[in-house]
Amino acid sequence: MIKHIAQKAVLIYPEFDTQDTFWSYFTSLKMYAAASEFGLPKRVLPPLGLMGLFNHLKPYYQSLSLVDKNIDPRPIQELIRDANHVFIGGMLAQEQSLLKLAKEVKRAGKLLIIGGTVVTPKSSLVTIADHLIENEAEGVIDQLLQDIRVSKAKKYYKGFAVLPEQFFQPDYASINMQNYMHMAVQISRGCPENCEFCDIPLRFGKAYRVTPFEKTEQSFRQMKQLGWTGQVFVVDDNFIANPKKTLAVLKNLYQIGEQIGYHHPKYTELTLRLADDTPIMHELRYWFHKSHFINGFYGVETPNKASLLETKKTQNLRGKRSLVEKLNYISEQTGAGVMMGMIYGFDHDTTDSVEPFIDFVNATNAPIVMAGLLNALPFTSLMARLEKEDRTIQNTSGNNSDGVINFIPYHLSVQQAEQNYLRILQGIYHPRAYFCRVLRHLNLIDPDLQSDYRDDASNNFIQLIKILSRKNALVFWIYLPKVLAIAYKRSRLNRSSYKVILAEYFSLCGQYTHFSAQVQVQEQQITTRNYQNYQLISWRDSQLLKKENK
């Protein structure tokens, strides 16, 4: 048995530096959803890393609490008053508020431990925290706690890729699930691909490590016991990184659903390999459907082949199908929707690539498209290359859709890249463009997959009134007759399928309000931004100028 190390620890998830990012859905949640327990808008997802840490720390402390500052506005001094140790963790997009919190914690004289993807040896957090853990915490946390016990703890602990048996098991009772729109579970870590801009393989390794099935079952069972029947995000880096193992995972997820008597609607992140014409992918598509995946997020990145090659995203170029055909095929075969991650600002991108980019997105069946400007993140090959070429200009904010590029693009100036990005957002979130994609989506998804969970009539009704009477309502009414026609054609008067198609439409209307607000934020910021001289010239032109001046 582990002896207590101190009386009480408080775990804190800091506010996001900008509340209103692409994935925050902030505008829509504020406008349409019921508030969270402290009156603030709900958040999309809970802090899964801290929920696992919470469970792991139980034997070390007499009492523990977990606070999500995005939900809980109480002053920090009050929250940590009786704590001996304070653990704070998060991602880069929380670094500024984390710094502020950290200073307050230290002012209150508490022992401060910081972890999460925000931690790098260069971060200013290093000067404030007593101890930091970089990357995965499981392999070093016990050592750190033992070292604290004997007053021999180091400042910085470098985590490493642990065996999946060691993955923290999240405790869903450590949070109030009603404060969130969706729940999260992690089944695997790691990705064997080589996308130049991505920090995942360097952070979490190339090997696909799968949580033991019993632990995944425990997570779903606990969620169900605590009354959760909503969507669950399987937050894996690349869910199909090892197709054979993924097949076993999918079969297990199906079994879990059968055993607990409920198939949670799920979504995850994966690659377009799912559209490959191989026997294993055929089987994966079948089980993806059977285990109730209602959506997938695909890193499509760009329709520009040269840019895909440049960034080593060659998996998108496999097979005979075009990218648009692959996305359609996936929805046809699995009944799940598709969401896309897109990037502009590769070395092969020019102003001429803007229109094809917009046309490509608008030809797909993906209503939700996370378009970002390329940014060099710490721990990536892109960062290493750009640093070698001396092209980096600032640290990234960690928010890849804030319309800021942190290096000098090759064919474009910083100003051109940011203005072209704005044109892209305006082109893909124009109401006609978005709702044409929505109609294609509604024509392809399998409504039966969602029939069990789209059923909380009273809550849905209040939301519906808000959606159809507030911002953008006119547009939502304009497309409604087309949606009713699709619902009629596809459901063949099956009441539950009809209801699902309408519910999906209204949900996408609600989400549209957030995306259109995001575009307005970018319009306001990019059109009023002041650029310095070096931001008005492309890397290529600056090199040519240098040569001429020699």
Asked if 235 is part of the footprint of ligand B12 (rule: CB under 6 A), the reply reads yes
Closest CA to 135 of 125, 154, 149, 121: 121
Closer to ligand B12 by Cβ: residue 204 or 208: 204
Asked if 339 is part of the footprint of ligand B12 (rule: CB under 6 A), the reply reads no
Q: Which of 68, 237, 349, 402: binder of ligand SF4 (CB under 6 A)?
A: 237
Closer to ligand SF4 by Cβ: residue 164 or 447: 164
With vertex at residue 273, the alpha carbon angle to CA 268 and CA 279, rounded to the nearest 5 degrees, is 110
Q: How far apart are CA 364 and CA 204, in angstroms?
A: 31
Q: Which of 14, 22, 376, 511: binder of ligand B12 (CB under 6 A)?
A: 22
The CA-to-CA distance between both ends of the chain, in Å, stands at 72
Asked if 380 is part of the footprint of ligand B12 (rule: CB under 6 A), the reply reads no
Q: Which of 29, 133, 240, 284: binder of ligand B12 (CB under 6 A)?
A: 133
Chain positions 193 to 212 lying near ligand SF4, rule: CB under 6 A, are: 193, 195, 198, 200-201
Asked if 24 is part of the footprint of ligand B12 (rule: CB under 6 A), the reply reads yes
Asked if 409 is part of the footprint of ligand SF4 (rule: CB under 6 A), the reply reads no
Asked if 46 is part of the footprint of ligand B12 (rule: CB under 6 A), the reply reads yes
Q: How far apart are CA 72 and CA 516, in angstroms?
A: 27
Q: How far apart are CA 399 and CA 402, in angstroms?
A: 6
Closer to ligand SF4 by Cβ: residue 271 or 491: 271
Asked if 48 is part of the footprint of ligand B12 (rule: CB under 6 A), the reply reads yes
Count of CB atoms situated within 10 Å of the CB of 356 = 12
Q: Which of 5, 31, 44, 181: binder of ligand B12 (CB under 6 A)?
A: 44
Q: Which of 71, 80, 105, 113: binder of ligand B12 (CB under 6 A)?
A: 113
Asked if 504 is part of the footprint of ligand SF4 (rule: CB under 6 A), the reply reads no
Q: Which of 21, 216, 242, 271: binder of ligand SF4 (CB under 6 A)?
A: 271
Closer to ligand B12 by Cβ: residue 154 or 432: 154
Asked if 93 is part of the footprint of ligand B12 (rule: CB under 6 A), the reply reads yes
Asked if 271 is part of the footprint of ligand B12 (rule: CB under 6 A), the reply reads no
Closest CA to 499 of 538, 454, 533: 454
Residue 446 CB, nearest approach to ligand B12 (Å)? 23
Residue 402 CB, nearest approach to ligand SF4 (Å)? 19
Number of H helices, E strands in the chain: 20, 14
Asked if 398 is part of the footprint of ligand B12 (rule: CB under 6 A), the reply reads yes
Reduce the DSSP state of residue 153 to 3 states and report it: coil
- How far, CA to CA in Å, does 240 sit from each of 215, 244, 330? 19, 9, 14
Asked if 232 is part of the footprint of ligand B12 (rule: CB under 6 A), the reply reads no
Residue 195 binding target from ligand SF4, ligand B12, none, CB below 5 to 8 Å by type: ligand SF4
Q: Which of 10, 14, 16, 205: binder of ligand B12 (CB under 6 A)?
A: 16
Chain positions 275 to 334 lying near ligand B12, rule: CB under 6 A, are: none
How many chain residues bind ligand B12 (CB under 6 A)?
A: 44
With vertex at residue 354, the alpha carbon angle to CA 348 and CA 358, rounded to the nearest 5 degrees, is 125
Q: How far apart are CA 269 and CA 340, in angstroms?
A: 10
Residue 67 CB, nearest approach to ligand B12 (Å)? 13
Q: How far apart are CA 229 and CA 217, in angstroms?
A: 15
Give, to the nearest 10 degrees, the angle between helix 473-491 and helix 495-527.
150
| Beta carbons within 8 Å of 81's beta carbon, 6+ residues apart | none
- How far, CA to CA in Å, does 329 sit from each of 250, 273, 333? 20, 12, 6
Q: How far apart are CA 373 and CA 417, in angstroms?
A: 8
Q: How far apart are CA 47 and CA 328, in angstroms?
A: 33
Count of CB atoms situated within 10 Å of the CB of 510 = 23
Asked if 377 is part of the footprint of ligand B12 (rule: CB under 6 A), the reply reads yes
Asked if 138 is part of the footprint of ligand B12 (rule: CB under 6 A), the reply reads yes
Q: How far apart are CA 536 and CA 416, in angstroms?
A: 8
Question: Can you give the binding site for ligand B12, defined by CB under 6 A?
Answer: 16, 21-24, 44-50, 52-53, 87-89, 91-93, 113-118, 133, 136-138, 168, 184, 186, 198-200, 204, 235, 237, 377, 398-401
